[in-house]
Amino acid sequence: MTVIVLTRCPAGLRGFLTRWLMEISPGVFIGGPSARIREQLWLQVQQYADTGRALLAYTTDNEQGFAFATHDHKWHPIDHEGLVLLRRPKEQQKQPTSEPPRNWSKVAKRRRYGQR
């Protein structure tokens, strides 16, 4: 079983994938091609994705029962003691400015800045 998920990719790439896989939802393709075909499809996806993102998941004989690959994702696969996990980058939290805007209510200022 192979699943390919595309985000913000050209329509031509989606059309190409429908030759081999079934599009069950916009940008979500599923099917059962051989390993050789899957690898060739993934190479084409990486080549023609442009600024879009892509995710490939497929069944395999390992502890998890599946493997996956990513293309231009913020989350990156890492190996953790034999299990492949996705590492999400830390998001930078915005520090509130020292002075709240003048048109805010007293309650909003207390919630945001802890002022009284």
CATH code, 44: 3.30.70.240
pLDDT band at 96 (very low <50, low <70, confident <90, very high): low
pLDDT band at 113 (very low <50, low <70, confident <90, very high): confident
Exposed/middle/buried for residue 30 (C-beta within 10 Å: 0-12, 13-18, 19+): middle
Report the number of distinct structural domains present in the chain. Answer: 1
Q: Are 21 and 77 in contact (CB under 8 A)?
A: no
Q: Please tell me the distance from the alpha carbon of residue 47 to that of residue 44, in angstroms, as a whole number.
A: 5
Q: Which two tokens stand for residue 54?
A: 């892509």
Provide the domain limits for residue 45: 2-87
91: Cα within 13 Å, side-chain hemisphere: 3
- Which tens digit of pLDDT belongs to each residue from 37-89? 999 999 999 999 988 999 999 999 988 999 999 998 888 888 888 888 888 88
